Structure 1
Amino acid sequence: MAQKIRDKGRDVVLRHVEEPGARFLNWLGFSPNMITVFGFIVVIGSAAAISLGHLTYGGVIFLAGSFLDMFDGSLARLTNRVTLFGGVLDSLFDRLGEMVLYLGLAMYGVRINPGERDLVLYFALLIIALGASQCVSYLRAKGEALNIYTRGGLMTRPERVILLSLGLLLGDGIMVWILGVIAVLSIWTLYTRVVIIRQEIHGSE
């Protein structure tokens, strides 16, 4: 059910946002790889703002970078420049972008210096959220390498982007809860993808 809703929303965004945006970026002379790299640079700016304690500014910049990241694939298809290397580059910078953002959140946690117990909880959730998120993405890539569809789950990249943006825009008080939700749902998504891959592998034997 969740996957059907996600796919329908994805189709709407593709038709009404990504494709018109890709045509505009093509008119400006951007290449897909330029968009990928520039989006990553914007996320670095977001992480820098967060590390300095400017969560709201960081959230706005992060949203801008994530919005820009939507267009590299559509631009590649529009200009017939879909390449294996472009796909690898896009996935790599997506992972690096998340890593940099969490680094900014870690530096922010040190800067605000809450009580020792709260700081331990904050960092524990941050590390679990980052690690589980990366494993979710890894299982998708591994599944695709095995010709197994593994894009399902409650916490994929779009959901993580939305929740992190929400936490940054709403401020300090809610971020630890956002990290907790990402951590728990990423672990659940990780479990569901492992089950899917296991079933598909055993079913083909």
Structure 2
Amino acid sequence: MVLDAKRDKAERFLMPAAKALRKVDPNVISLMALILAFLTGISAYYSYEHWRLLLPSTSVLVITSGYLDAVDGKVARISGKANKRGDFIDHVFDRYADIFMIGGVALSGWCDIHLGILALLGVLMTSYMGTQAQALGIGRMYGGLLGRADRIVLMFFVPMLQLSFTAITGDMTFSLLGSEISIFELMMAWFAVIGNITAVQRALYTWRALGGR
């Protein structure tokens, strides 16, 4: 999954909202996205006990947060308010959003805490390598197997898949290789493994791009 490579094609889905929100301070939009990310984490955390209500709300919250996060930069450019402070705020809020959303799942009854920690590590290191490349003058890096857009899409669909599975079978988990796991844990395992692979990919690309600098 490399949805971040399709960023240009996503413009047509983002620009109508960006134009409609052009009079709104882009930092306010970033803050709204962060608040929704926090609510996503809360919803995910409590969804194990209240899955019929909170699994759908988790999906709605995460996709709305992700959409607003994608729109804020467009609004900044359209309104002529794009600046380094706004970019800095956006990066900081994105990392907190990742912690809230992944952390909510990691601490919930859906996921083994050790797997959750590895997933959070993979997500944060992927993002760190992308921004570190920018800090070193190479440019913001979105490449690799697991970008932020991929994570948002997965976190939208997985709660709905878990909801469908639990509603149909009455079970929270299923048996795989002798272990009982949830669909959420499959997602977190993907984040843990592919996230760290993506971080290494970006690190190697940055290392080569730096050359003898």
Distance 2:120 2:78 in 1: 33
Distance 2:38 2:62 in 1: 9
Aligned in 2, Cα 1:75/1:128: closer, same or farther, shift over 3 Å?
Answer: same
Structure 1 gap segments, 5+ residues each: 113-118
Distance 2:38 2:99 in 1: 10
Aligned length: 188
Distance 1:124 1:87 in 2: 33
User: After superposition, where does 1:23-172 map in structure 2 within 5 Å?
Assistant: 23-26=19-22, 29-53=23-47, 54-109=54-109, 122-149=112-139, 150-171=141-162
Equivalent position of 2:195 in the other structure: 186
Distance 1:197 1:52 in 2: 39
Structure 1 residue 176: Cα displacement = 0.4
Contact 1:56 1:170 in 2 (8 A): no
Structure 1 residue 6: Cα displacement = 4.5
Structure 2 gap segments, 5+ residues each: 48-53, 163-171, 173-181
Distance 2:121 2:43 in 1: 23
Structure 1 residue 200: Cα displacement = 2.1
SS in 2 for 1:124: helix
Does residue 13 in structure 1 map to residue 4 in structure 2? no
TM-score normalised according to structure 2 size: 0.81
Structure 1 residue 194: Cα displacement = 1.6
Contact 1:47 1:105 in 2 (8 A): yes
SS in 2 for 1:62: helix
| Structure number with higher relative contact order (C-alpha < 8 Å, ≥ 6 residues apart) | 2
SS in 1 for 2:21: helix
Root mean square deviation, CA, Å:
1.9
In the TM superposition, what whole-angstrom CA distance separates every residue of 1:92-127 from its partner, at most 9, and x where no partner exists?
Answer: 111101111123213322xx6xxxxxx6xx222211
Percent identity of paired positions between Structure 1 and Structure 2: 25
Query: Residue type of the partner of 2:32?
Result: F
Query: Residue type of the partner of 1:11?
Result: D
In the TM superposition, what whole-angstrom CA distance separates every residue of 1:37-62 from its partner, at most 9, and x where no partner exists?
Answer: 01111122222222221222212111
Distance 1:136 1:197 in 2: 13
Distance 2:97 2:28 in 1: 15
TM-score normalised according to structure 1 size: 0.84
Structure 1 residue 144: Cα displacement = 1.0
Contact 1:32 1:72 in 2 (8 A): yes
Contact 1:40 1:97 in 2 (8 A): yes
In the TM superposition, what whole-angstrom CA distance separates every residue of 1:125-174 from its partner, at most 9, and x where no partner exists?
Answer: 21111112111111111111212243310011111111122212211531
